[in-house]
Chain A
Amino acid sequence: MLDFTADEIDAVRLSLRVAFWAMLGSLPFGLATAMVLARGRFWGKTLLDGVVHLPLVMPPVVTGYLLLLLLGRHGPLGRFLAESFGLVFAFRWTGAALASAVMGFPLMVRAIRLSLDAVDCRLEEAAGTLGAGRAFVFMLITLPLIAPGIVAGMVLSFARSLGEFGATITFVSNIPGETRTVASAIYTLTQTPGGDAGALRLTLVSIALSLVALLAADLLARRIGRRIAGE
C-alpha cells in the first residue's frame, strides 16, 4: 500500500518546497501590508484591504489566470522580470510558489494584523521614552509581541499552499517534476485508470502533512504566547 512511486515522491517533495518558499517569500510583504493596514492612516486604505482579500473570495482559477496574464512569458511584468533578472515564473515551480503565496497572502495578513491590533501601543510609547527610536521599538517590542500572530500567519500560508490547486494549475499547468504538486498529482491520478491507490497514498500524505504543520504551529505559538504573557 505505501509503495510510493518516484513520481509521487517527487510530488510530495515539490509540494513541500513550493509551500516553504511561498510562506517565506510572502512573509516580508505580509508583515509590511499588515503594518500598513493596522497602523497606517491614508486615503484608499479600504481599497487596499479589499485588494489584499481578493484571492480569498475570487475563484482560484481567476487568480491563476490573472497571474498568467501578468506574469506569463508574454505578460508585461513577466517579460520584464525575465529580461532584467532572468526570473521566470510561467510553467516553473517558482510560479507554483508564487500562486500559492498569493492565495495564502490574505490569511497571513489577517493573522498578523489581528496580533498587531492586540499590541498595547502604550508599551511602544514607553519604549520611546526610554530612548528607543521607531526601528528599535519595532524590533524590540512590536515584533516579539506579535510573534504568535506571525507564526500563525506562516502556518496558514504553508497549509494553504499545500492545498493550492486551482490557481496553480491555471498559472503553471501540471508538469511532472516541475509543477505537479501533491494536489495536482492526486487530480491526475484520479483521472488515470488504476490511479486510485496512488491518489489514496497521496491523500494520506496530504492529511499527515497538514496535521503536523498545524500541531507544530500550535505548540510553537503556545510557547511564545507563554513568554509574552510575561510569566
Chain B
Amino acid sequence: MLEVDIAHRLAAFELDIHFRTGRGLTALFGRSGAGKTSVVNAIAGLIRPERGRIVVDGSVLIDTERGIRVPAHRRRVGYVFQEGRLFPHLTVRQNLLFGRWFARDSAPASCLDDVVDLLGIAPLLERRPGRLSGGEKQRVAIGRALLASPRLLLMDEPLAALDAGRKDEILPYLERLRDQASVPIVYVSHSVAEVTRLANTIVLISDGRVRAVGPVQEVMGRAELYPLAGRFEAGAVLAVRVAAHDARWRLTELTGAFGKLMVPLLDAPIGTALRVRIRARDVILALTPPIGISALNVLAGRVEALVPIEEGALEVELRLGGERLLARVTRRSGEALGLVPGRQVFAVIKTVAIDRRSLGRQDEAADLDDGVEFFEG
C-alpha cells in the first residue's frame, strides 16, 4: 500500500502529485519530462519534496507537516535505476549481497538462491559488472534491490537504456517478479507497450500532475487521456484467456468478459491469461451484426462516449460486457450511424489485424504504431 501526496518545485516545473495504489505493479506512465522520475526519487528519499506526505505500508517516510523525514538508507525502498548503477569494484555476488548486509535484522531476507534463480543470473555470480551485457547488468541490479528486502521496489525506466533484444530478455523476468515476489513495484515508463504488458495499475502523469489512476484496461480505454500520454496511438486493452486452438485454420480462440475473439494461432497453453491491445483504427463499427464479411470477430457493445480527436475523426469509447474498447471512425460515419452514448453497436475486428508481435521488438518508434499485441497477464 503506497500513498503519495507531494508538491515540489524544480526551477519552472511544478510537481503536484496525489495517488494511492496497492499490490502488484503500478506504472507511472507519461511522456518524458512529465515528472515521473521526480516522484520515485521523492519516494526513495533522493529528493526532498517541499511539501507532502508519503506512506508505505502504514509507515510514514516523509510528512513535512509533522516534520518527519526518514533518510534514504532507512526507508527500505529498493531502487532499480535506468543505468543499473552496479558497483564496479565488487563482483556480482558482492553487489547482490550489498543491501542484505544492512537489512539483516529488519526483515526476513529473501534467499540469494531464490533471487538468483528468478533472474537467471547464476552463471554471473563471480564476474564483475564491467564484463556484463546491458541486460545482465539490469537483472543483477533488480536482484540487488530485491535482496535488500525492500517494502517497495522502484524501477525507473529499467529497460530504456537497452536495445530491443535485451528488452525481450528482461521482460519475462519482470513478469515473474510481479507475479512471484510479494513486494509491490512502482514502475516508471513512457512506453505504452511495457506498461500494457506489465502494469496492474496505471498512474498517468502529465505536466507534473496525475491525470488518471486505475486498472490498465480502464485507463487505456479512455480516449481523452491519449493526448496527455504522448504521441501514442489509442488502443484499448482487453483481458482474455486462451480458450481453444484450431490447428487446421491456425487460429486461437480467446474469451473475455466481452465475448470471444479469434486471433492467429498463439503459442500459449489453454487457460493462459493474456492481455490484448487493439488499436482504435483497426475497429469497424456497424449498427447491425454484419453478415457475409470476412472479419471473424463481431462484438456487441454500447457507445459510452465520443471524443473528437482531430480534423474529421472521432474516437468512440465502447462498453463490451464490462470491458472498454476504442474505435476510430470519421465524423461523417459517426453522424451517418447516429452514434450517441447508449447506442448499441457491433464492433468488427479483423483477425489478421491481431498479429502476435513480440513486445521486445517494439522500439520507441514502433510504440507509436503498435497494433494489437498480446501480453501475458
B73: which A residues are within 8 A, CB to CB? Answer: 128-133
Say how far B99's CB is from chain A's closest CB, in angstroms.
Answer: 3
- Could you tell me if B148 and A230 are in contact, using CB atoms closer than 8 angstroms? no
Bound: A144/B85 CA distance, A: 16
Mark the stretch among B75-83, B111-119, B238-246, B343-351 that contacts chain A. Answer: B75-83
Q: Tell me what chain B mostly uses at the interface: helix, strand, loop, or mixed.
A: mixed
- Could you tell me if A129 and B78 are in contact, using CB atoms closer than 8 angstroms? yes
Does A141 touch B at the CB level, under 8 Å? yes
Bound: A56/B101 CA distance, A: 44
- Could you tell me if B99 and A141 are in contact, using CB atoms closer than 8 angstroms? no
Bound: A208/B71 CA distance, A: 52
Contact partner of B148 (CB less than 8 A), chosen from A131, A136, A145, is: A131
B128: which A residues are within 8 A, CB to CB? Answer: 227, 230-231
- List 7 extra interface pairs beyond A130-B78, A130-B148, A132-B98, CB under 8 A: A125-B85, A129-B75, A129-B148, A130-B145, A131-B73, A131-B101, A141-B87
**What 0/1 pattern do residues 108 to 147 of A give for CB contact below 8 A with B?**
0000000000001011011111111100100011001100
**What 0/1 pattern do residues 100 to 133 of B give for CB contact below 8 A with A?**
0111000000000000000000000000111100
Most B CB contacts (10 A, CB to CB) among A123, A128, A144 go to A128
Does B66 touch A at the CB level, under 8 Å? no
- Could you tell me if B77 and A129 are in contact, using CB atoms closer than 8 angstroms? yes
A126 and B89 contact, Cβ closer than 8 Å, known pairs A131-B76, A136-B102, A230-B128? no
Does A229 touch B at the CB level, under 8 Å? yes
A130: which B residues are within 8 A, CB to CB? Answer: 73, 78, 98-99, 102, 144-145, 148
**What 0/1 pattern do residues 67 to 95 of B give for CB contact below 8 A with A?**
00001111111110101011111000000
Does A77 touch B at the CB level, under 8 Å? no
- Could you tell me if B79 and A129 are in contact, using CB atoms closer than 8 angstroms? yes
- Could you tell me if A125 and B88 are in contact, using CB atoms closer than 8 angstroms? no
B88: which A residues are within 8 A, CB to CB? Answer: 123, 145, 228-230
Does B44 touch A at the CB level, under 8 Å? yes
Pairs A–B under 8 Å by Cβ, sample size 9 = A122-B81, A122-B83, A125-B46, A125-B72, A126-B85, A129-B73, A131-B74, A132-B99, A229-B130
Q: What residue of chain A has the Cβ atom nearest to residue B98's Cβ?
A: A130
Contact partner of B131 (CB less than 8 A), chosen from A123, A132, A231, is: A231
B83: which A residues are within 8 A, CB to CB? Answer: 122
B103: which A residues are within 8 A, CB to CB? Answer: 131
Say how far A143's CB is from chain B's closest CB, in angstroms.
Answer: 10
B71: which A residues are within 8 A, CB to CB? Answer: 133
